[in-house]
Amino acid sequence: MISWKPGIDQKFSYASIFGKVFYKCYLREGRDPLTWITMLQTFAMNMNRIIVAGKSDKSAQDIAIHIAATAQKEYETAVETIEVILKENPASIDLEDIKTLFQDRYTH
């Protein structure tokens, strides 16, 4: 006999939805990068609240990798800085610093 716990399917569903939204979220041309990065942080936070066996939490490094992989070409310098930090000391990634890098480029 298979035992079913109420809500388990719902947890998998929410985790799947947040995951899809997170990975499809990219910086659209002309949009404020601060809003985009904050949105990624919010998705990651919501994903991390869902407890599912075998699921790992989204870290600042995961968010930084996603930002570097999906940012517009005009943010190339900021992306290069992220890549250097990820190579040299990934634990030192600070999303507030990344926001500043992108915001500085966006306002100039």
Q: Which residues of the chain have pLDDT under 50?
A: 1-6
pLDDT at 108: 64
Residue 73 to residues 15, 59, 66, 68: CA-CA distances in angstroms?
30, 24, 14, 10
> Which residue ranges make up each domain of the chain?
30-107
Tell me, what amino acid is at 21? V
pLDDT at 12: 56
pLDDT at 13: 65
Element (H, E) at 17: helix 8-24
pLDDT at 18: 66
pLDDT at 43: 86
**Rounded to 5 degrees, what are φ and ψ at 58?**
-80, 125
pLDDT at 10: 56
The count of other CB atoms within 10 Å of the CB of residue 18 is 20
CA 80, CA 88: separation in Å to the nearest integer?
12
| C-alpha atoms less than 13 angstroms from C-alpha of 100 in its C-beta half-sphere | 6
DSSP-assigned states of every residue in 27-57: --TTS-HHHHHHHHHHHHHHHHHS--TTPPP
pLDDT at 64: 96
pLDDT at 3: 43
**Tokens describing residue 5:** 């716990």
pLDDT at 33: 92
